[in-house]
Amino acid sequence: MASWECCCKVNTFAPPLWAVAACRKRISPAANLLAVSKKATGLLCPARTVKEYVLHAAVVQVVNEVYAQRDAFLPQLKANIEKVLGEDNSGPVAEVDAKIADLQQELLKKAKANQDYEMLGKEITRLREEKYQLQLEDANREGIRQKVAELETCTENWTAR
């Protein structure tokens, strides 16, 4: 019986190096070979693998299919991406700004009257965090839109080889 070695526990991010007797092969994670490993060794290895040339061929086939059907595929892809991205958060940000301004005015009144204003300060801090998160979402959304625009430019220049 051949002795199998799996180095999948040594480096999680590198493709595992499998050895069957003296033959060593680099393979990429993807397909389920657990049954083969179990039959050969009696051990159950959690690494899911596929040979790189098989993975390469599958990716090339998918890219070619997308290229062949790009006139139908790309508008639908763009519509789906825009649907997921949704609208910007300018409305909610303006509402949060208005709440912060109101609370700041109230805080000033309480401070002048020597009243406890700690809860107002905490609420203002919470609203500032909320505003920051909304602005961060907008920035991420804009970055994705820029990447989509780059992809559109790239796909407009596709030519068959």
* pLDDT score of 98: 94
Task: Of 44-48, 61-65, 69-73, give the lowest mean pLDDT range.
Answer: 44-48
* pLDDT score of 53: 86
* pLDDT score of 128: 95
Confidence of residue 47 (pLDDT cuts 50, 70, 90): low
Instruction: Report yes or no: 16 and 6 within 8 Å, Cβ to Cβ.
Output: yes
* pLDDT score of 135: 92
